[in-house]
Structure formats: C-alpha cells, structure tokens
Amino acid sequence: MKIGDVELPIVSNIDERKEADVDEIKSYVDSITVKHDPKVRDLIISGFLNKNLHSENLDIDEQKAQLKSIRLKNKMDNTIDFKDFKGHLLIENINIDENSDSRILKNFELECRYFPWPKYFPSDEP
C-alpha cells in the first residue's frame, strides 16, 4: 500500500470510524429520521515496516523517516488507492514502536482523516 509516494510494506488493519449525524423531522404523517453522511471519516491504519518486503529494500530507519515525512505533507499529496479506499489523507498522528528489538520489523499506527474521492477534490483523482 502507498500513501502518496510512501510505501507501507505491511498493512495489517484499517479501522474506519463512521460517525454520522441523525436528525428527526416532525411531520403530520410520521416521524422521519434523516441520516447524513459524515463530512470526513477517521481512519486508523496499522501495520509494519519491513526491509525484506519493501519494494526498494529501504532499511527500517529510511522507512521511518519517509513515514514521518507524510505528517508534514498536504492532504492533496497523501493520496490513497487501496481496497475500498480511494481519496486523500490528512495525517494527524504517527506512532512507531521504537522499543522493538527487531532490526527488520517495526510496528506503526497512523491516525488520519480520510477524504473520499470524488466527493472531495473531484478534479484530483488519486
């Protein structure tokens, strides 16, 4: 999987938080409930950095630096096209397990805001 030009060798989970507003409209006939799509969705992407599975064989430190760099990028540069997710990501937080003794595997977690295409930025297809 890639976010923009940054490769994530192993993605173990994408946890999607869908929170929608619910309104109740009173009428003379019946109560009607209207559910709105959320403006943006929160995602938590979990996985592992791994030298052996990275397409460019980057070592763990290089992969960590690349991963940390996406936090500073604009959401328009952080594109995603993976499984059911196609759009742009605003990276809010990056957690990388620095306590692991492994030299070839590091756990990471990204907290992001997902802007699905074409609902958002329809002229900029990822």
Q: Is the peptide bond before 118 cis (omega within 30 degrees of 0)?
A: yes
- pLDDT per residue, tens digit, the chain (126 aa), is 999 999 999 999 999 886 645 455 555 556 666 555 556 789 999 999 998 888 898 888 999 999 999 999 999 999 999 999 999 999 999 999 988 777 778 899 999 999 998 888 888 888
What integer pLDDT is reported at residue 102 of this predicted model?
A: 78
Reported pTM: 0.79
pLDDT at residue 29, rounded to an integer:
59
Task: Supply the pLDDT for residue 66.
Answer: 94
Give the sign of the dihedral formed by CA 3, CA 15, CA 105, CA 102.
positive
Q: What is the pLDDT of residue 44?
A: 95
pLDDT (0 to 100) of residue 24: 55
In the chain, what are the domains?
A: 2-116 (2.40.30)
Where does 1-126 have alpha helices with state H?
60-69
| Dist CA 108 CA 44 (whole Å) | 10
